[in-house]
């Protein structure tokens, strides 16, 4: 029977963390929480009251650099990866309870994915889109380097659960405004651009020992302007197709969000590379 470690990396979201821990009670066997920088909001007390272990990491402006440390602190190999502004649906709670009493999954399975409905700031407006958010994984079967917006790379395969993970931040979870107005996304893009000037092994790593960049990042490194032109078109069409397939309706703003963000990443990297000479 696989035991689960709930691992959360976050910054200054005590109220959302309290909701997550309340909604996730009884679904895990171990709790590890890493705060991005000094905790000034009393999150430690919340975590320790829930029986978890709390750590303060160096301020990084994002959670990915903390993941290798956090996963290493976990007591169990199966990592339940949730953010402070998320919480499991009723069906997901049942599935997680069943998972913990079932035999170990096939070793070829590295993890499980779920559905991440679109959130307009007040309610979820989709039911089956977007599908592909990594929910649960075996840390022995993934590789990772701690760069902003890099995800764990599976040794085997991820299995889709079809279950909903509620993602309910205090703002929209999608939209052009998040890309063009939100200051945090500009910081992320600058961090990504600077990162692409180096090597994956420059970051905190989990089972990653290769200096070669994954194909999507290497494409930006080699051809930033070409990628800035082609990726948004292909990405938008792909998202619209997936929306229609899953919902039988379109969410144009959501379809543009990811592709527009990638266009901005490409242009930011091109500018930073030129500035660096």
Task: Return per-residue pLDDT of the chain as tens, 277 residues.
Answer: 899 999 999 999 999 999 999 999 999 999 999 999 999 999 999 999 999 999 999 999 999 999 999 999 999 999 999 999 999 999 999 999 999 999 999 999 999 999 999 999 999 999 999 999 999 999 999 999 999 999 999 999 999 999 999 999 999 999 888 888 888 899 999 999 999 999 999 999 999 999 999 999 999 999 999 999 999 999 999 999 999 999 999 999 999 999 999 999 999 999 999 988 6
Question: Which sign does the torsion angle of CA 243, 248, 252, 254 carry?
Answer: negative
> Cα separation of 194 and 99, whole Å?
40
Q: What is the pLDDT of residues 90-126, one digit of tens each?
A: 999 999 999 999 999 999 999 999 999 999 999 999 9
CATH of domain 4-167: 3.90.550.10
Neighbours of 83 (CB within 10 A): 18
Strand-pairing partners, residue 56, are 35
> Cα separation of 174 and 252, whole Å?
11
CB 46 within 8 A of CB 14: yes
> Cα separation of 116 and 130, whole Å?
5
* Block residue for tokens 């070409």: 226
- Going from N- to C-terminal start, the domains of the chain cover 4-167, 176-276
The per-residue pLDDT for 252 is 95
> Cα separation of 145 and 264, whole Å?
22
The per-residue pLDDT for 1 is 85
Neighbours of 211 (CB within 10 A): 10
> Cα separation of 123 and 132, whole Å?
20
Q: Please choose, from the candidates 155, 146, 152, the residue with its C-alpha nearest in 3D space to the C-alpha of residue 66.
A: 146
Neighbours of 27 (CB within 10 A): 19
Find all residues with CB under 8 Å of 184, minimum gap 6, and list them: 61
Name the CA dihedral angle for 177, 182, 184, 185, rounded to a multiple of 10 degrees: 30
> Cα separation of 126 and 119, whole Å?
8
- 16-21 long-range contacts (CB < 8 A, ≥24 apart) are 16/84, 16/85, 16/169, 16/170, 17/43, 17/46, 17/47, 17/84, 18/46, 19/87, 20/82, 20/83, 20/84, 20/85, 20/86, 20/87, 21/46, 21/47, 21/50, 21/52
Q: Please choose, from the candidates 266, 230, 261, 236, the residue with its C-alpha nearest in 3D space to the C-alpha of residue 251.
A: 236
């Amino acid at each position: 029977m696989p035991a689960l470690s709930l691992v959360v990396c976050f910054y200054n979201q005590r109220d959302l963390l309290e909701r997550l821990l309340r909604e996730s009670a009884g679904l895990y066997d171990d709790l590890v929480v890493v705060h991005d920088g000094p905790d000034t909001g009393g999150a430690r007390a919340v975590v320790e009251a829930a029986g978890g272990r709390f750590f303060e990491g160096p301020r990084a402006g994002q959670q990915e650099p903390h993941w290798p440390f956090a996963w290493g602190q976990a007591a169990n190999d199966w990592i339940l990866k949730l953010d402070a502004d998320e919480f499991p649906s009723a069906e997901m709670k049942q599935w997680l309870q069943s998972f913990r009493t079932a035999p170990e999954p096939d070793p070829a399975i590295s993890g499980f994915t779920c559905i991440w409905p679109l959130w307009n700031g007040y309610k979820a407006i989709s039911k089956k889109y977007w599908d592909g958010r990594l929910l649960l994984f075996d840390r022995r079967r993934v590789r990772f380097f701690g760069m902003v917006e890099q995800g764990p790379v599976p040794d085997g395969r991820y299995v889709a659960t079809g279950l909903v993970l509620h993602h309910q931040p205090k703002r929209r979870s999608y939209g052009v405004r998040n890309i063009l107005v939100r200051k945090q996304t500009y910081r992320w893009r600058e961090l990504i651009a600077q990162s692409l000037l180096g090597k994956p092994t420059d970051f905190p790593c989990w089972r990653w020992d290769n200096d070669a960049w994954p194909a999507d990042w290497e494409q930006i490194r080699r051809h930033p302007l070409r990628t800035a032109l082609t990726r948004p078109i292909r990405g938008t069409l792909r998202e619209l197709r997936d929306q229609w397939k899953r919902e039988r309706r379109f969410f144009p703003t959501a379809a543009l969000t990811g592709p527009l963000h990638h266009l901005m990443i490409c242009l930011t990297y091109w500018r930073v590379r030129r500035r660096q000479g």
